[in-house]
Copies of this chain bind each other. A is one copy, B any other.
Amino acid sequence: MDIRDKLMLSAARVYAEAGYRGATTRRIAQDAGVNEITLFRHFGSKDALILEAIRHCGPRSGGPTLPEVAADPQRELVEWCRARFARLYEVRSLIRTCMGEVAERPDMRHPATAGALRSAGELSGYLARLRDQGLTTTAFDVSAATWMLMAVLFSGAMWCDVIPEITGEDTEGTLDENVRVFLRGIGVTPGAAARDGTSTDGTSTSERVMA
């Protein structure tokens, strides 16, 4: 593994758990197993190293994407949310630290929020398509709804290890239930577009909505 990458990885890890001021060059170098001077020779300054490390180690994109044509909203959205949640949860320490310092160091705003904005854009498009395909039975504000689901993902990933009381032990079950409530909230009935007629979950809430 390249020494530059090793340094960036260590910088991200140490920064995530100690913050900018706590991430001393000595500690980063120790974590990477290289000499402190090597750090300066490669990156010039602590500032440059940490900024590049954050830009490099933030929540990567990838994973399942929401389909162009919605077929089974509940299943598709649950799958997407689980993947997004997992990514956020992986880098939760880094995000928490960035959040706390974004006010003091505005140059961190972009790397810290870029991923969230990309995800929100994808989700927003999908919800709009749900509406345009006639899969929803009530009017709703797409951008407000997008933000609502993103909030659930974000807060869950940030807190579920700090306040386990919140989700109990069944984090995934809570997430699924949240998606169910969300879809019902924007007027999507379970299995609405599933051609084969089977509902994704066994609950079969016998509700009918008339528009």
A interface residues, Cβ below 8 angstroms from B:
17-19, 21-22, 93, 96-104, 109, 113, 116-117, 120, 137-141, 143-145, 147-148, 150-152, 154-156, 158, 162-163, 165-168, 173-174, 177-178, 180-187, 203, 205-211
Contacts and interface: CB of A to CB of B under 8 A. Distances in A.
A21 B103 CA distance: 15
Given A19-B19, A21-B21, A178-B148, A203 B139 contact: yes
Given A117-B163, A207-B138, A208-B210, A103 B17 contact: yes
A199 to B, nearest CB: 14
Given A19-B101, A140-B181, 10 more contacts: A17-B104, A21-B22, A99-B158, A113-B163, A116-B163, A120-B166, A144-B181, A147-B156, A150-B166, A184-B187
